[in-house]
Amino acid sequence: MFPSRYVCGRHLQTPILCRVVDVHQEDMHPRPSVTERKWVMTIERVDPAGQVQPIAGCTRSGDGYAVILRHTLALQICSVLQSDDTDSWRGRMIVLEPAQARAAGEEVTTINARAPKVKSQ
């Protein structure tokens, strides 16, 4: 009923193949009168044929869907793409998948990144 502006772990039922569109910073307001600057990655969900697909429960904004980059996720993407230069991430493919983690004493569903599996020929 109320789609989210940012993709989070609960939106992913299975791993999804994504193309990185952009990485930029945005101002977030976690509490009244508090502003934090966070890194955000814009992605397109694609099928194996390269056709753009929707992400259920999320609002598409401009060029794609927004994912807030937490430290662990950013490091995973750096490892997968073998680059810490976010400008070089544009157009590259990654897989985002749901993962269970503990945060503030509670079990939560978060997002992990991995390399796409290459089909053997």
What total number of domains does the chain contain? 1
Model confidence pLDDT, tens digit, residues 66-107: 999 999 999 999 999 999 999 999 999 999 999 998 888 899
pLDDT per position as a tens digit, 49-68: 889 999 999 999 888 999 99
pTM as predicted: 0.90
User: Residues 8, 42, 18, 79: is their CA dihedral positive or negative?
Assistant: negative
User: Does residue 1 lie within any of the structural domains?
Assistant: no
Asked if residue 27 belongs to a domain, the reply is yes
Query: Counting beta carbons within 10 angstroms of the beta carbon of residue 116, is it exposed (0 to 12), middle (13 to 18) or buried (19 or more)?
Result: middle
Q: What is the DSSP letter of 71?
A: H
- Which of helix, strand or coil describes residue 1? coil
Exposure on the CB side of residue 100, measured as CA atoms within 13 A: 3
Domain of 104, in residue numbers: 9-114
Residue 7: both structure tokens together: 């993709």
Q: Quick check: is 105 in a domain?
A: yes
